[in-house]
Amino acid sequence: MLLSLSVKNLALIENAEVSFGQGLNVFTGETGAGKSLVIGSVNLALGGRAKSDILRDEKIPAEIELVFSLDEGEKLQRIREMDIPVEEDGNVIIRRRIFGGRTTAKVNGRTLTGSELRELCSLLIDVHAQSEHQSLLHEKQHLIFLDRFAGEEAEKALTLYRERYDSWRRITEDLESMDRDENVRKREADLLEFEINEIIGAGLKPGEDAGLEDRFHLMNNSRKIAEVLVEVSNLISGDNEGASALISRALRSISSVIESGGGISDLYAELSGIDSLLGDFKRDMEDYLSSLEFSPEEYNEVTERLDLINDLKKKYGQSLEDIGDALKERQDRLEILTNYDEHLNILKERAVEAYKDMAEASAVLTDIRKRAALTMGEAMEQGLRDLNFDEALFEVRVDEAEDFGPDGRDRVCFYISTNLGENVKPLKDVASGGELSRIMLSLKTVLADMDDIPTMIFDEIDTGISGRTAQKVSESLLKLSKAHQLIVITHLPQIAAMADDHFSIEKRQSDGRTRTEITALNRDAMVKELARLLSGESITETVLKNAGEMKDLADKRKVSNYSGQPEAPAAEGSE
């Protein structure tokens, strides 16, 4: 669940912290008070795009922090598999920093890419904004919803189908590349043969280029190296002041007193060792100097060989291994062109088999989807009735598409009838804006148990509804909050009354500036806020009494919801 939200220097918010409860968390406030900033802040923390004017004070960064708590289980395991560190207490802390047109996102201290952040957030939270209603009008989205409802069985079947679909596509692409006339094939074969002979003719040896590069650099630098080594030789072997001569004199001096004992023999042995090492060094240096001697012919040979190898690298790859791979590819392709008819027949047979395998996997996927479609339709109908669509009919139709595609050969479309006696029609042709919000709520409710998303956020789920419908929506949210943490932004008292935790969002002015403040309400403050939602600015004792009764009734409904006991009847004025 989402434990807390912290926001600093974002739009109208100077500094705000919210601690969420486990059940239904509700935000209310006057129009324009900044309720959308709550969703906006969460979306930004989850990787949403930040506008250029989002900072309240342009001299300091905006910072948003979300703290999630997860029990040990599959989700934590998946997060660890993403190489994201998890706190010992199971907390996942997402921090987003925005400043100077740049943003950074860290999770438990590790910087995440945008794709990694989106993958993580898909495990933790589902944000439902008003704009998402429109996704119900797109049939492609219907297929995604159905597969989510079908769960792991559909996921495995879709994975297998995609593997076979990709295999079939590769084979058909190979067939298309074979479909050339004889003259084109002849020209390609001639080019391949030329390139093969060019590579083979070079007689390349493993590691040859590295050795040639070393020899080339040695030749180019040999004069400078020789000058330095001659100078070193003079310092070591000079007749009177060279290191060898001086060490020899030192040895003769020590030898004159070696009989004296007291460790002199040990010093003599050490100095003799140095003299021996110096002699070895002189011989090695002389050998190295000899290796620097080369002829102009050798220099030309090395240069020409390197030019040849580098030319082949430009054509066929960055290394000798790449050139070897290019040779193999061309030999394989030439063999295919040389035995064209034989390979064409083999490829056609493979295409037939691949198509058969793909079709079988598609059939299994279609069967899973059709079975899930029946169950989903029934679940949606029940969910819609819970939202005051008393006569609603809902069908999830799975029809055969014209061609196979990456997601199978199924065309999925939602059909609905919201009035008694009307035939079902495609959802996009029937539903109004207000109806779409309730249909989406029903869909989210149906999918919630399949997705196992711990936290769900609803922004303006109450668009275009009131009265009994509003009461139905509030009861549906209450049921959903039994298994999921909900965060809801609303202007309806029926929904606000169901809150386990209620937050008020207000605009205040100080020091010539406006800022948005978020306040957690106690029970008395909740009743006053309900009264404001019921009547606006004019709050009378009667309105406060009605608000108190509404809150009492909501509490009773919550008790029956969590205990499984029958619900209390609706209170007067709640519809």
**Residue-averaged pLDDT of the chain:** 85
Is the same domain home to 120 and 248?
no
Report residue 424 CA to chain centroid gap. Answer: 39
What is residue 225's predicted lDDT score, i.e. its pLDDT? 75
Q: What is the pLDDT of residues 382-419, one digit of tens each?
A: 988 888 888 889 999 999 999 999 999 999 999 999 88
Buried/exposed code over 211-233 (b: 16+ C-beta within 10 A; e: otherwise): ebeebeeeeeebeeeeeeeeeee
Residue 374 · residue 388 · CB < 8 Å: no
HSE toward the beta carbon, residue 91, CA cutoff 13 A: 13
Q: Which two tokens stand for residue 11?
A: 């739009």
**Which range, 108-112, 200-204, 561-565, has the best average confidence (pLDDT)?**
200-204
pTM score of the predicted model? 0.65
Residue 418 lies in a domain: no
Residue 433 lies in a domain: no
Q: What is the pLDDT of residues 302-327, one digit of tens each?
A: 889 999 999 999 999 889 999 999 99
Is the same domain home to 118 and 146?
no
Q: How confident is the model over 117-134, as a mean pLDDT?
A: 75
Q: Which two tokens stand for residue 435?
A: 């109806």
What is residue 289's predicted lDDT score, i.e. its pLDDT? 75
Is the same domain home to 512 and 464?
yes
Which of these, 477, 487, 491, lies nearest to 554 by C-alpha position?
A: 477
Q: How confident is the model over 75-87, as a mean pLDDT?
A: 83
What is residue 574's predicted lDDT score, i.e. its pLDDT? 43
Q: Give the DSSP letter string of 430-448.
A: T--HHHHHHHHHHHHHHHH
Which of these, 90, 103, 12, 108, lies nearest to 57 by C-alpha position?
A: 12
Q: φ and ψ at 60, to 5 degrees?
A: -130, 155
Say which range, 16-25, 275-284, 351-360, 401-410, has the weakest mean pLDDT: 275-284
What is residue 20's predicted lDDT score, i.e. its pLDDT? 93
Residue 412 · residue 373 · CB < 8 Å: yes
| CATH code of residue 87 | 3.40.50.300
3-state secondary structure of 2: strand
Is the same domain home to 248 and 200?
yes
HSE toward the beta carbon, residue 234, CA cutoff 13 A: 6
Is the same domain home to 100 and 148?
no
Check whether 276 has a pLDDT greater than 80.
Answer: yes
Helix axes 74-81, 114-124, angle to 10 degrees: 170
Residue 182 lies in a domain: yes
Q: How confident is the model over 270-286, as a mean pLDDT?
A: 86
Residue 190 lies in a domain: yes
Is the same domain home to 217 and 303?
yes
DSSP state of 566: P
For the chain, counts of helices (H) and of strands (E): 18, 15
What is residue 367's predicted lDDT score, i.e. its pLDDT? 97
Is the same domain home to 335 and 451?
no
Residue 337 lies in a domain: yes
Helix (H) or strand (E) holding 52: none
Distance CA 260, CA 202 (A): 71
DSSP state of 500: S
End position of a domain, from candidates 359, 374, 392: 359
Name the residue range of residue 245's domain: 140-359
Residue 222 lies in a domain: yes
What is residue 374's predicted lDDT score, i.e. its pLDDT? 96
Q: Is 100 left (phi over 0), alpha (psi -120 to 50) or beta?
A: left
Is the same domain home to 125 and 144?
no
Residue 159 lies in a domain: yes
End position of a domain, from candidates 359, 375, 391: 359
Is the same domain home to 248 and 177?
yes
Question: CA triplet 181, 186, 189: central angle to 5 degrees?
Answer: 125
10 Å CB burial of residue 145 (0-12, 13-18, 19+) is buried
Is the same domain home to 261 and 334?
yes
Is the same domain home to 167 and 300?
yes
Cβ neighbours for 134, distance < 8 A, ≥ 6 positions apart: 436
Number of domains in the chain: 2
DSSP state of 55: B
Cβ neighbours for 107, distance < 8 A, ≥ 6 positions apart: 84, 85, 92, 93, 94, 95, 117, 120
What is residue 163's predicted lDDT score, i.e. its pLDDT? 96
What strand order describes the sheet that includes 91-99? 13-19, 2-10, 62-69, 91-99, 102-107, 110-111
Q: What is the pLDDT of residues 473-525, one digit of tens each?
A: 888 888 888 888 999 988 899 999 999 999 999 888 877 788 888 999 999 99
Distance CA 97, CA 458 (A): 24
What is residue 46's predicted lDDT score, i.e. its pLDDT? 82
End position of a domain, from candidates 304, 336, 359: 359
Is the same domain home to 263 and 298?
yes
Distance CA 479, CA 562 (A): 8
Residue 531 lies in a domain: no
Question: CA triplet 2, 6, 52: central angle to 5 degrees?
Answer: 115
